[in-house]
A and B are shown apart, each in its own frame.
Chain A
């Protein structure tokens, strides 16, 4: 797009930032500086600007949960937030869950319980479940089902997903770790 038409479309707000906005996101522990358009979602910034394609675009409307990431430790839908709004935050994506070659306990539990078929929803399920465990509100399988209702699985792996989360919750409680 050419600059003049952009300016016309954007109005004349005196405090308006330039079209490409510099932001810093600490993603999986490393500070990353990127330039994004104001309308770039956090999801697109992660996938297209930072090359972290583990986070998936499903519905792009906050209905399926495939884009779930952790921002400052809390799970959110990255498709429904703008990258500029998250300037200065710490983000964990599915790529940041494992410690090197050692899987996160939840990743291991997903394998143990065969908690996926096609795998497309899995990164979102994993990040969402990490958030759920941190929140500490889920005590029963029903709680898990309710608090994971923002993550859809078209393959229908739900029973195994719940079992994997249950196992991880139990282990976390016994080990006192997350």
Chain B
């Protein structure tokens, strides 16, 4: 790790002021990704602003019937929160599908959104990487890209976003609350993360002088018909090759509303509302699921080692939708 100075922010306004005043500073919360990246010299902040003492570790009901997850609530506390388990089981399942118990005890809601790709070339400072060092090239496109993206890629970057939680939040259409020097604003989840385009060094649309304060869950948690299906090379403690968050509103066998988001396949959780619309008013049949899967994967492109993900993702969507349709609150 490079030497850095360390300060603690006592309130949100101070945290924002301090990060705005120092372009080389970074916030640290759980630290599970940032410290790892600092050990690899991928991140080299001159200063860390510890935000763990900010009053953002609460889960609170919202007036609109939704639920607010404070940015500093740990993954464990979200996953096992009574209201999350009961009303937003998709969120709970997604969190528990990721990392280990130790990491979930440290990692926070805000940090989960801000975690960086686990692309092996991004981590390896000896190799070119446009995300780490813009303009140097992408080693993954012609390299070992088994874990990489098949949707929304660019010639500059084919990295994936590694989060499970974010896939569920995308499906539920959560809203990210942030505070900057000008005050508060909200960012719809779909607009929070970016596609790589020609600026792969930018993962999110959060400004450098802003802090995430909370993630708001909308009133509908799709608690009766949902599934989080995660496919990986070992059954625990691994990043997804492909993951699917599926949520349905059913009227007996007819689908009233469908939400589908994919993890492990793009630079952000992947949603395609046209694919979801294909399911509206339809019966919960394998053929209809496959049609939605084809639409969701429309335009998918492999880079050699990851070609398998295209068919894998389609089959995973069909399976997850089947699980969601069959579930009555519990899988």
A residues in contact (CB < 8 Å) with B:
1, 6, 9-11, 13, 15-17, 19, 21, 37-39, 41, 60-62, 65, 68, 74-77, 80-82, 84-85, 128, 131-132, 135, 137, 145-151
Please tell me if the beta carbons of B236 and A149 are within 8 angstroms of each other in the complex. yes
A-side contacts of B7, CB under 8 Å: 13, 15-17
Knowing A38-B48, A61-B36, A85-B31, the reply to whether A21 touches B100 (Cβ < 8 A) is no
B154 proximal to A (CB < 8 A): no
Please tell me if the beta carbons of B106 and A21 are within 8 angstroms of each other in the complex. no
B225 proximal to A (CB < 8 A): no
Q: State which of A6, A13, A85 has its C-beta within 8 Å of the C-beta of B28.
A: A85
A-B contact pairs, 22 of them (CB 8 A): A1-B3, A9-B46, A10-B47, A11-B22, A13-B7, A13-B47, A16-B47, A17-B5, A21-B6, A37-B3, A39-B2, A39-B3, A39-B4, A41-B35, A65-B102, A75-B102, A76-B105, A81-B106, A85-B28, A85-B31, A132-B101, A151-B100
Please tell me if the beta carbons of A150 and B102 are within 8 angstroms of each other in the complex. yes
B-side contacts of A137, CB under 8 Å: 80
Please tell me if the beta carbons of B101 and A77 are within 8 angstroms of each other in the complex. no
B-side contacts of A80, CB under 8 Å: 31-32, 35-36, 103, 106
Please tell me if the beta carbons of B18 and A15 are within 8 angstroms of each other in the complex. yes
Please tell me if the beta carbons of B32 and A62 are within 8 angstroms of each other in the complex. yes
State how many angstroms separate the Cβ of A107 from the closest Cβ of chain B: 19
Interface centre among A61, A132, A148 (most CB of B within 10 A): A61
Chain B interface size, as a band, is: 20 to 34
State how many angstroms separate the Cβ of A4 from the closest Cβ of chain B: 13
Knowing A1-B3, A13-B25, A17-B6, the reply to whether A85 touches B46 (Cβ < 8 A) is no
B-side contacts of A61, CB under 8 Å: 36, 39
How long is the Cα–Cα vector from A140 to B299 in the complex, in angstroms?
43
Q: State which of B24, B39, B237 has its C-beta within 8 Å of the C-beta of A11.
A: B24
Q: State which of A19, A60, A85, A128 has its C-beta within 8 Å of the C-beta of B52.
A: A85
How long is the Cα–Cα vector from A10 to B2 in the complex, in angstroms?
10
Please tell me if the beta carbons of B102 and A9 are within 8 angstroms of each other in the complex. no
B50 proximal to A (CB < 8 A): yes
